[in-house]
Structure 1
Amino acid sequence: MTEGLESDVESTDDIAERRNELATRVRTHAGEIARELAVLQGGDYGQEEFETDGGSWTLKYEAGDVQYLRFDPKSGSETYVVSSQQPPEPEALETAMADYGSFVAAYNEYVRSFDGLLEDVPDDFPEVESTAELVAERDRIVERIREVGNAMASELYRYEGEYGTYATTVAGTRWELKWDGDAVSYLRVGGSDGTYLLSQYGPPSAPEVRRLADDVGSFVEAFNEHVDDLESDLSRVSFDESI
């Protein structure tokens, strides 16, 4: 009854070591293919499938390195030759490696299929027109509007306090100027989703400046009428020195 217990147990260390060495070499080699695919496709991640006489190989890559290499034979179960999990079973790895050379050949054929693809693509392009003159004129107009806005801000600061907003309607559109001290903070046309003719950020586009610049004069006229009304109100205030 104890005869079997006295028999030596065969070690699988050599098989496991050989399997691990082979899996490491495949990972390194497949990683080269993954990097080449990433360069070819122009992205950090993706996957490609390659057909061989023995089955189908799918290589998925991310950040220029192989994520997994899966072999799906025409007969039998699929095998993850390379993965983030443990290496495949030795027998499954042996089956896959018998077709691995065909996988590499399929990859090489895939790359060669792009030979000459870009030969007839023109690399002589039309001259790009400069926007420098248009931008300079846009900036000149915006700077002039800013000068006017600062002048208005200075008056509002003197009349109404450190900061605030002045709003009116010009040609059916809301114009709002915000001041902070004696300087304009912004000039917005069209409500909260409107165009900022003046702001702490960049200037508006040239078409927007062209569309709105003609109404700046009307906005200033409305402001002047506002100031006149303020002066008129103040002129009606009396003070009896005898009080």
Structure 2
Amino acid sequence: MTDELDFDILSAEDTTTRRDEVVTAVTDHAGQIARELAILQGGDYGQETFSTRKGKWTLKYEGGALQYLRYKGKSGGEIYVVSTKQPPEPGDLASAMRDYDEFVESYNEFVRSLDGVLDDVGTDFPAVETTETVVAERDRILGRIREVCDTICGELHRYDGTDYGTFRTTVSGTRWELKREEARASYLRVGGEGGIYLLSQYEAPSAPDVRELTDEFVGFVEAYNEHVEELEASLSQVSLDGRD
């Protein structure tokens, strides 16, 4: 029975070859538009839609490279002329390509519409005030706070006899925590977890925070002194001859 079937089967090779040639050419050409848009919009990722009389073209790019070019005619239906997934059906491609020139012209009009848009934008900006004085004063205050904290840490290191330790107290209802490594302050944190690091190994606090907390720091030092006085009072009650 199979021997009796004598039909000519036409090859689609010529059509698909031509389809691939057109897609490659469009990819190269629209890729130039993608690169220009990436430069214009100042980012590696984005998309833009351009309208023509017959429909709309949407171009998407990633890393400055064309990702897809989609055509949607007014009669409906979407055609991915360029895609990372699969090539378009030849008939759909042919329909879209009849409007491709207008797509390019729409893009060109978009670019031309931006000509001169920055011509009247002035660059005579106001003078920028320096933060040098504020930063210098902040650093001076923090330097003094660090000196005091290092002194406290030295005393605690001598008393505790350990390389690491933490002194915690409450000032006006706010928790203060001084952490030390040997005789040097690692950090001074105000407000517990998520609080403000008045001293840190990483970055300095803002000037307003320093202004707000410097007066409270006096209370922190006073709390430490009271702590030492309590230690001295407790030791003064110890008698080596067995009498209080």
Bigger mean CA deviation after superposition, 112-121 or 145-154: 112-121
Q: Distance in 1 between matches of 2:217 and 2:102?
A: 74
Tell me the residue number matched to 1:168.
169
**Alpha-carbon separation, structure 1, partners of 2:61 and 2:237:** 81
Secondary structure, in 3 states, of the residue corresponding to 2:18?
helix
Task: Specify the alignment match of 1:65 in structure 2.
Answer: 65
Residue 9 (structure 1) shift = 3.3
Instruction: Give 1:66 shift.
Output: 1.5
Cα displacement (A) at 1:131: 0.7
Deviation at 1:172, TM superposition (A): 3.0
Partner of 1:15: 15
- 1:114-138 per-residue CA deviation (whole Å, 9 max, x = no partner) reads 1111111121111111111111111
Q: How far did residue 217 of structure 1 move?
A: 2.5
Counterpart in the other structure of 1:198: 199
When the two structures are aligned, how many residues end up with a matched partner?
Answer: 240
* 1:227 matched residue in structure 2: 228
Aligned to 1:122: 122
Counterpart of 1:156, as a letter, is: L
Equivalent residue, structure 2, for 1:132: 132
Give 1:215 deviation, angstroms. Answer: 2.6
Identity of aligned residues (%): 61
Aligned to 1:87: 87
Do the aligned partners of residues 81 and 147 (structure 1) sit closer, same or farther apart at CA in structure 2, a change above 3 Å counting? same
Residue 164 (structure 1) shift: 2.0
Partner SS, residue 68 of structure 1 = strand
Q: Secondary structure at the match of 2:98?
A: helix
Aligned to 1:210: 211
| Partner Cα separation in structure 2 for residue 216 and residue 239 of structure 1 | 38
Matched, 1:105 2:105: yes
**How far 1:149 sits from its partner (Å)?**
0.5
More divergent stretch after superposition (176-185 vs 214-223): 214-223
Indicate how the Cα distance of structure 1 residues 122 and 208 shifts in structure 2: closer, same or farther if over 3 A, else same: same
Matched, 1:239 2:240: yes
Partner AA of 2:195 in structure 1: G
**Structure-2 separation of matches of 1:89 and 1:79:** 9
CA distance in 2, matches of 1:57, 1:190: 56
| TM-score scaled by length of structure 2 | 0.90
Mean CA deviation greater in 122-131 or 89-98: 89-98
C-alpha separation in 1, matches of 2:197 and 2:85: 56
**Distance in 2 (alpha carbons) for counterparts of 1:179 and 1:148:** 13
Aligned-pair CA distance for 1:39: 1.5
Structure 1 consecutive aligned stretches of length 4 or more whose deviation exceeds 3 Å = 1-4
Query: Shift in Å at residue 84 of structure 1?
Result: 1.5
Is the partner of 1:196 in helix, strand or coil?
Answer: strand
Q: Which runs of 5+ in 2 are unaligned?
A: none
Q: 1:169 to 1:73 in 2, by over 3 A?
A: closer
Taking only aligned residues, the RMSD between alpha carbons, in angstroms, comes to: 2.0
Give the Cα separation in 1 of the matches to 2:76 and 2:153.
81
Change beyond 3 A, Cα 1:168–1:88: closer
CA distance in 2, matches of 1:197, 1:61: 46
The 3-state SS of whatever aligns with 2:104 is: helix
Point out the more displaced range, 196-205 or 217-226. Answer: 217-226
Deviation (angstroms), 1:176: 2.0
Deviates more, 1:127-136 or 1:67-76: 67-76
C-alpha deviation, 1:100, in angstroms: 0.8
Q: Distance in 2 between matches of 1:160 and 1:72?
A: 77
Worse-superposed segment, 194-203 or 28-37: 194-203
Q: Which runs of no fewer than 5 residues in structure 1 stay unpaired?
A: none
The residue type paired with residue 229 of structure 2 is D
TM-score, normalized by length of structure 1? Answer: 0.90
Q: 105-114 vs 11-20, which deviates more?
A: 11-20
Answer with 102-111 or 194-203: which moved more: 194-203
